[in-house]
Amino acid sequence: MDAVAAQKDTVGLPEPCARVPVEHADFIRQVLDRIGDKWTLMVVASLHGGLMRYKDLQSSIPGISQRMLSRTLSQLHQDGLVTRTAYAEVPPRVEYALTPLGASLNDIVASLIDWAADHHEEIRRHRAGTGAADAS
């Protein structure tokens, strides 16, 4: 597709959506759904320091079930964001790490987590119905 046709397919969309060609929009939304998932954010943040075993990873993420951790790791591995290395030992040992692609998300993920931590009380007040008038 040439630049003129791509521009026609995105005309009228607000930035940054205007940069997304229509023919890629569904897949890009899928990627955003995956990387914007709460467990994905926590897994990427936990793996930023390097290799982790499954149990260590699970204990570093409050509230995640074995099923959700396994599912999230599988999806991240499928997308090329996480490596999975299994060792033929007794007992079996499996280690996970971010790939360079996964590591490129770390600054974004850390910023989102920091933002949520910095603003959770304000959001809690809004959810409780007190609104911005009570925020100081």
Over residues 36-93, the pLDDT tens digits come to 888 999 999 999 999 999 999 999 999 999 999 999 999 999 999 999 999 998 988 9
Judge contact between 127 and 133, C-beta under 8 A: no
Instruction: Give pLDDT, residue 136.
Output: 47
Ranking 9-13, 14-18, 90-94, 120-124 by mean pLDDT, the lowest is 9-13
pLDDT confidence band for 132 (50 / 70 / 90)? low
Instruction: Give pLDDT, residue 135.
Output: 46
Range(s) within the chain of domains with CATH label 1.10.10.10: 39-129
Rounded to the nearest integer, the mean pLDDT of the chain is: 86
User: Per DSSP, what are the bridge partners of residue 93?
Assistant: 87
Please, what CATH class does the domain formed by 39-129 belong to? mainly alpha
CA distance 38 to 115: 14
CA distance 136 to 78: 44
Helices (H), the chain: 3-10, 25-35, 38-47, 54-60, 66-78, 100-103, 106-127
For the residues 16-38, what does the mean pLDDT come to? 84
Judge contact between 115 and 41, C-beta under 8 A: no
Instruction: Give pLDDT, residue 36.
Output: 86
105 versus 14: the higher-pLDDT residue is: 105
pLDDT confidence band for 11 (50 / 70 / 90)? low
